[in-house]
Chains A and B, each alone.
Chain A
Amino acid sequence: MTDYAFYLLLGTGAGAVIAILGLGLVLTYRGSGVVNFAHGAVATWTAYVFVDLRLNGDYALPFPGLPDRLHTGGAMAFVPALAVALATSAALGFLTYILVFRPLRTAPALAKVVASVGVLIAIIAMVQERFAATTVSVAKILPSEPIVFAQDLTVPRDGLWLAAIAVVLAAVLWAVYRFTRFGLATRAAAEDEQGAITLGFSPDALAAVNWTVAALLAGLIGILASPLTQLTPLLFTTLFLIPALGAALIGRFTSFGVTCAAGLAIGMIQSSFLQVQVDVSWWPQIGAREGLPFIAIVIALVILGKRLPTRGSLEFARLPRAPLPHPSVVKVLLPYLAIIGLFFVLPGGWRIALLTSLIAAVLALSLVVLTGFVGQISLAQMAFAGVAGFALSRFASQWGVPFPIAPILAALVATVFGVAVGLPALRVRGINLAIVTLAGGVAIQEFVFKNPDYTGSISSGGAKIPNPELFGIDFGLTAKHDLFRPAFGVLVVTVLMLSTLVVMNLRRGTLGRRMLAVRANERAAAAAGINVATTKLIAFAISAFIAGIGGTLIGYRFGSISDASYGIFASLTVLAFAYIGGITSIGGAFLAGLVTGGGFFFYGLQQLQGQSGTGEGNIQLFIGGVALIITAALNPEGMAGALRDRRARAKARPEKPASPAAGAPASTLEPAP
């Protein structure tokens, strides 16, 4: 039993990180109705800034174009470094609210989720840009000499310190919200913004303060926790943000006490799994730790019904229009043949960029079906792609299943995962669904992709995938001396064209009408005899299938894959670029592919500027993140919508009459029983 006591006590440190991040999520949500997916990234940035100050006395600037670092000359002392780092995190929180979420106050839930993903991408891109080369060995901050509980029960002290800090913070926040005028005002504004305004409070100012405090807490825990573990760019996002979301959900994004307790509990239980693994033979060796928060989230959301409390603010905007495509032989065949032609005439680097764009377009198409047509959000598309990629490796290289059958079977495996992650969508929507799919994506990543049983060990070069061959023709990208074979381009563009035709048929047919009906109004759709649950699941299935096809293309392109090929961060960038392109239209998916990181557009830009180097990928990501925020705020129909509007204005359409009831948001409707 002392083994378990040891691991439970050891887990208090991780639990405290989860708890304090969870407190910040609750603060942000109560203050502004935003679930901040970038919360962990703020902790990461602050931790790196602190470390850099302490070790080198350098202050990294968070925007590209500025000088990389301000030099203060020599390592900085503890207290000033702490003050500067915390001020940085507070400023990040304040600016994020003022620049991003205040303009999005009345935007639909999807736009807010997307914008917060944009902030996350931008911050992580800058972390990778500024600190990728920084080796991080962080000196202990909290006292860490072991504490002896019993003869054979000795635990390092710092985790317990962190837990104590978490409890104190939760108590302080509780007291502030309970007893001060500020807390009262925030609670009032969360219930009813209009009411709070009439009482003389400014919801904007309240939100800004809450954001600042939340970011300050994130920065603090980032600094305090980094000595306990190895600091990596996505540490606080993958390892701690998901369980923190789970803890905040258990606290209904309202209760500081419950959130703190749940966070500590999740961390301690995760830690105890290390011992369970030893004691229980069938316990999974890999992934149980990350699976726990996913299960906690699903239980909290779906079974206990602990959804985010709805906020008393008005959301006017609806999802952008999903235009009816008018396919014709010319419109489909001409670009198809033109792109094939490009593969034969372009030099190698351009071919790779074009491939990246085409594969990204396939992935974006998968989101057009799910988000564009049915209004469901998924932050796990790349996880579905990865499932198909690893399944393909198994089918093709181990079992010898031939080419067109193996990738189709692999995509069907992804479909099964898609439906499983989509099941909670029958009960939850909007932000809640974003949380479930994000947690599901991370669970798949940790449980499946990091398990050598499924994916082959990294030492043997990951999971191998043979070149696709059909009728004796090799459609692979590389063969012997040829690194950029056009045959693979032909294959990819053919797959993209077929996927596009399927999605066009879908939009024009019965299923498409049903999906748009469900997106517009679930109650009315049910009243018209449409099975809302089935329609959503079909959308998840088709979307995961297309994402899976995209995943097999990624696999064929690289020839061997590892868990890094399909990380959760890639899922977020897929959503980002799909949204920028225009997530409700097929043309938008193509534009998404064009502007995707490493794709045709950025490669062309680099060629024009004659740049080369390692940093571009991160700058492109940063630009992508910022573009995503701007798209969410100003132009929810994306680039495709902007082009459409321009054409439409040229045609001068008749004026639309204002319909007074059209503002009723579908998102406030309760699900049909």
Chain B
Amino acid sequence: MTPLLECRELSVDYGGVRAVDHASLAVEPGQIVGLIGPNGAGKTTFVDAISGFVTTSTGSLVFDGHDLADRKPHQRARLGLVRTFQSLELFDDLSVRDNLFAASERPPWWRLAGELFWPRLGRTDASAVDDALEALDIVDLGDRSPDEISQGQRKLVGVARAIAARPKLLLLDEPASGLDTDESAHLGTRLRGLLDRGITILLVDHDMGLVLDVCHHIFVLDFGRILAAGPPEAIRTDRSVIEAYLGERMNNPDTPPNEQGDGPADKGDEPGDKGGS
């Protein structure tokens, strides 16, 4: 099967610092693929590179048969490669529904112009927006303003907005940060539901629980390099992964104790404070 997204030997430099170093990764359609790594591993930079927000210094990106080089972020989004942000980047002046509309509408230019004089011309199909709200189970938030709802709800709206843009591949940058354990589990269920809608997912997080739970295939990033790749069972027991996470505690209660035996769950780190926003 041809991968939906293929990154080959991708590197990103910030000044003299190489944040991503010849990383290669492929996402098969119809899967949830995880990208994990300790803090500072280069996960967000990797997402920025795929979505076009930073320039890459080496490597190639092919999405759904399109070479992504020289394509701007909004063009990548229109191809169906849609991302979310780790921090809360909703459009605060628009209602939740209008946030989703802004992402879903793609009217031809003559309707954009005509709408100024005859509003009915601009009536766009609301099905994508309604679908997205339903997919995240937040239909009741539709008419609220983003600054009236909770942090966790904002997070869900962010994901819903990305879904409203009709993605083929959804790039989720730490969607679980800022969510409590229940919300995180709920999100996991919702994400699996998206597969039925034909959406492939690249899930970037350091919440091992969520990632190991829902992903079909996992890539591990450390110091900008792909350290390991494989199905969750293999990643759970991979020595190099465990070493990379040494010092960091595995967040998931059902993660088996690692072989060094120093990894009992550290209760000090509640889910609420692992967000990087």
Contacts and interface: CB of A to CB of B under 8 A. Distances in A.
B88 A662 contact: yes
Given A322-B93, A657-B150, 15 more contacts: A321-B93, A502-B117, A510-B115, A514-B102, A517-B102, A520-B94, A523-B89, A527-B73, A527-B85, A528-B82, A530-B102, A530-B103, A532-B74, A659-B154, A673-B54
Given A321-B93, A510-B115, A511-B112, A529 B82 contact: yes
A658 to B, nearest CB: 9
Give the contact-size bracket for chain B: 35 or more
A529 B87 contact: no
A510 B112 contact: yes
Interface residues of A, number: 38
A533 to B, nearest CB: 8
Interface of A: 318, 321-322, 502, 505-506, 508-511, 513-514, 516-517, 519-521, 523-532, 542, 654, 656-657, 659-662, 664, 672-673
B78 interface: yes
Interface in B88-119: 88-94, 98-99, 101-103, 105-107, 111-112, 115-119
B165 A529 contact: yes
Contact of B101 (A318, A513, A525): A513
Contacts of A514: 102
Interface in B56-95: 72-74, 77-78, 82-85, 87-94
23 contacts: A321-B93, A322-B93, A502-B117, A505-B116, A508-B119, A509-B116, A519-B93, A520-B91, A524-B90, A525-B102, A526-B72, A527-B73, A527-B74, A527-B84, A528-B74, A528-B103, A529-B106, A530-B74, A530-B102, A657-B148, A659-B154, A672-B52, A673-B53
B240 interface: no
Nearest to B84: A527
Contact of B148 (A528, A542, A654, A672): A654
Nearest to B101: A513
B147 interface: yes
A359 B28 CA distance: 60
B94 A513 contact: yes
B150 A516 contact: no
Given A516-B91, A529-B74, A656 B147 contact: yes
B74 A523 contact: no
Contacts of A516: 91, 93-94, 102
A654 B143 CA distance: 14
Contacts of B111: 510
Given A505-B115, A516-B93, A664-B87, A529 B148 contact: no
A523 B124 contact: no
A654 B144 CA distance: 11
A661 B88 contact: yes
A523 B98 contact: no
A521 B146 CA distance: 13
Contact of B91 (A506, A517, A532, A656): A517
Nearest to A670: B53
A513 B105 contact: yes
Given A509-B116, A523-B85, A528 B147 contact: no
A526 B94 contact: no
Given A508-B119, A511-B112, A659-B147, A524 B77 contact: no
A524 B165 CA distance: 12
A318 B89 CA distance: 14
A529 B122 contact: no
A513 B90 CA distance: 12
A322 B92 CA distance: 10
Interface in B157-214: 161-162, 165
A673 B93 contact: no
B151 interface: yes
Contacts of B98: 513
Q: Which 7 A-B pairs have the closest CB atoms?
A: A529-B77, A528-B103, A524-B89, A526-B73, A520-B91, A513-B102, A509-B122
